[in-house]
Amino acid sequence: MNIADQTFPAVDSANEDRAQAIRDQLRDAIVDRRLAPGTKLSEGEVGTLFDVSRTVARAALQMLSFEGLVRTERNRGAFVANPSPEEARQVFASRRLIEPGIAIAAAERMTPAHVVAFKAQLDEEGRFIAERGPSARRSEIKASGDFHLLLASVAGNVILQRFMEELVARSSLVIALYGRSGVSSCGHSEHMNILEALESGNAERASALMLHHIDHIEADLDLRVRSGPALRQALEF
Amino acid sequence: MNIADQTFPAVDSANEDRAQAIRDQLRDAIVDRRLAPGTKLSEGEVGTLFDVSRTVARAALQMLSFEGLVRTERNRGAFVANPSPEEARQVFASRRLIEPGIAIAAAERMTPAHVVAFKAQLDEEGRFIAERGPSARRSEIKASGDFHLLLASVAGNVILQRFMEELVARSSLVIALYGRSGVSSCGHSEHMNILEALESGNAERASALMLHHIDHIEADLDLRVRSGPALRQALEF
DNA sequence: GGAGAAAAGATTGCATACGATTTTTGCGAT
DNA sequence: ATCGCAAAAATCGTATGCAATCTTTTCTCC
């Protein structure tokens, strides 16, 4: 009975919080761009979709609003975030500040097991790049983010790790919105270079490579305001 | 109209969210150490105390749990966070990574109005240090944190600003728990030096001073495990 | 008297209900 | 046909109720 109806939504998460499970699925959907920015996420809809009451759906949406992935307006509802160019710049400014330091910390804590995990991660990343199609592109963005999350977990600071989770999620949104080309293939090779530096314990080099990597990602964005930002906001789309 | 109702931190909060107001008050109480680490915050108690239902009290507690100021255990309730020495170290490691960069950004954006605000802030800080007594010490810790928050707001990156809000709040908890002496008077002069550097537009110097300042704060902590950490955790007090 | 088990009490997780607010729809006037 | 306004529908904010879980007390048995 449990197995049957909890097939897809709400993974296993028996003792876990249901709201958390819903948040995770919604976050994946947002980061994967299956939910477009501006989409309304009504409490009732989310609730019926995941077969829970509005109470827990609301809790999930509140969590996402804390992470900056949805914006809530009083008495109006929750919407998938539509980050402005300015917000996008701030996301990357934050990453430039934090990630080089994370790379240094990670370099000092790398173990052979970590190296194996990174190689598996990069393999998967390469596979998605080889594929074509919109679905592959989404997976590609997600895999690219996972590299940075893996690095954060190796660094061993859970606070910074959580910050990075938020920043990576928001970056994915920004890239989906403002991304120009397939810089990702270039990003893939940069990831490999970073791993090389980490593997050889060259913390400084890893840090510098990371900084450049972030610069490259941001440089690929087209952050000019398009077709009147006020109108866009007013129309909420 | 705008001026009238936005007098101060919206205690009345007519159109504001009530849960948010409760969160703010609870946060202040935690940071001020009026609520000791480990204290249980039951939904019902908080609700009756603020004259709201459990629903909104619960929302406030959820917010605080996101910020790391309370820890919630399923089916058991919410407790004021009791950061471990390891957690304390990670808080300061995060600050060492972020705040020097914030100082640089702030130095580049300082205006005369900002300088005035900083001077007022430092005046108040000095006043609390001059006073004696436990209440003054609490205000002193809070004022010291406010300096860093003011700096973050000047830096102009709302994402980093929110990160700093969390880090400063957790720092206050840590200092209250593990703080040794009145390093704060020393911290006050360091704040003044930082302001000097900011005022003269010397970003590099401000950044370096900030890094040392954080080091000094952490150096004043006694992060040795005291009287068995496992026992302490087990007894939850 | 102490240890263990069962019951009572307290607290959380979740669903539902109801008033308030916003958005949409329907209808008549210009 | 368009605009304005009022009623209806939808949605949110919040309170409350019930079942599940945890804690404490009490009772029994050794």
* pLDDT cut 90: percent of chain B above it: 72
Q: What's the pLDDT at A179?
A: 86
Task: State whether the beta carbon of A76 lies below 7 angstroms from any atom of strand C.
Answer: yes
B59, B19 contact by CB (below 8 A): yes
Q: What's the pLDDT at B185?
A: 65
Q: In which band, very low, low, confident or very high, does the pLDDT at A10 lie, cut at 50, 70 and 90? A: very low
- CB atoms B74 and A17 under 8 Å: yes
d(CA A185, CA A202): 24
By CA distance, what is A105's nearest residue in B?
Answer: B93
- Average pLDDT of span A212-216: 95
- CB atoms A157 and B94 under 8 Å: yes
d(CA B5, CA B14): 9
A103-160 confidence digits (pLDDT tens)? 999 999 999 999 999 999 999 999 988 888 878 878 888 899 999 999 999 999 999 9
Residue among B72, B102, B157 with most chain A CBs within 10 A, to mutate: B157
- DSSP designation for B32: T
**Does A80 score more than 50 pLDDT?**
yes
Q: Please identify which residue in the block is written with the tokens 């370099």.
A: A107
Q: What's the pLDDT at A35?
A: 94
Q: How far is A100 from chain B (nearest CA, A)?
A: 9
Residues of B in contact with A98 (CB under 8 A): 97-98
- CB atoms B159 and A90 under 8 Å: yes
A35-62 confidence digits (pLDDT tens)? 999 999 999 999 999 999 999 999 999 9
- CB atoms A159 and B94 under 8 Å: yes
Query: Any chain B CB within 8 A of the CB of A68?
Result: yes
B133-143 confidence digits (pLDDT tens)? 878 878 888 89
Q: What's the pLDDT at A186?
A: 73
d(CA A81, CA A84): 9
User: Considering chain A, what is the average pLDDT of its residues?
Assistant: 87
Tell me phi and psi for residue B131, to 5 degrees: -65, 165
Q: Where does residue A157 fall: left (phi above 0), alpha (psi -120 to 50 degrees), or beta otherwise?
A: beta
B40, B78 contact by CB (below 8 A): yes
Residue B175, both tokens: 């200092």
Q: What's the pLDDT at A4?
A: 32
Q: What's the pLDDT at B132?
A: 82
d(CA B135, CA B92): 25
Q: In which band, very low, low, confident or very high, does the pLDDT at A6 lie, cut at 50, 70 and 90? A: very low
**Does A221 score more than 50 pLDDT?**
yes
Which of A59, A98, A167 has its CB closest to that of B97?
A98
- CB atoms A74 and B157 under 8 Å: no
Q: How far is A101 from chain B (nearest CA, A)?
A: 6
Q: How far is B190 from chain A (nearest CA, A)?
A: 23
Query: Any chain B CB within 8 A of the CB of A159?
Result: yes
Higher pLDDT, B171 or A236: B171
Q: What's the pLDDT at B131?
A: 87
Q: Tell me which residues of chain B have a pLDDT lower than 50.
A: 1-14, 228-229, 231-237
**A30 contact partners, CB below 8 Å, separation of at least 6:** A64, A69, A70, A80, A81, A169, A173
Higher pLDDT, A232 or A191: A191
- Average pLDDT of span A8-15: 40
Note the ipTM here. 0.89
Residue B74's nearest nucleotide, by CA–C1', is: C12
Nearest CA to B89 out of A157, A154, A105, A152 is that of: A157
d(CA A138, CA A129): 10
Q: Which domains are seen in chain B, by residue range?
A: 2-80 (1.10.10.10), 85-219 (1.20.120.530)
The 3-state secondary structure of chain A, one letter per residue: CHHHHCCCCCCCCCCCCHHHHHHHHHHHHHHCCCCCCCCEECHHHHHHHHCCCHHHHHHHHHHHHHCCCEEEECCCEEEECCCCHHHHHHHHHHHHHHHHHHHHHHHHHCCHHHHHHHHHHHHHHHHHHHCCCHHHHHHHHHHHHHHHHHHHHHHCCHHHHHHHHHHHHHHHHHHHHHECCCHHHHHHHHHHHHHHHHHCCCHHHHHHHHHHHHHHHHHCECCCCCCCHHHHHHHCC
Q: Please identify which residue in the block is written with the tokens 């004022």.
A: B143
d(CA B195, CA B175): 23
Q: What's the pLDDT at A58?
A: 97
Q: In which band, very low, low, confident or very high, does the pLDDT at A227 lie, cut at 50, 70 and 90? A: low
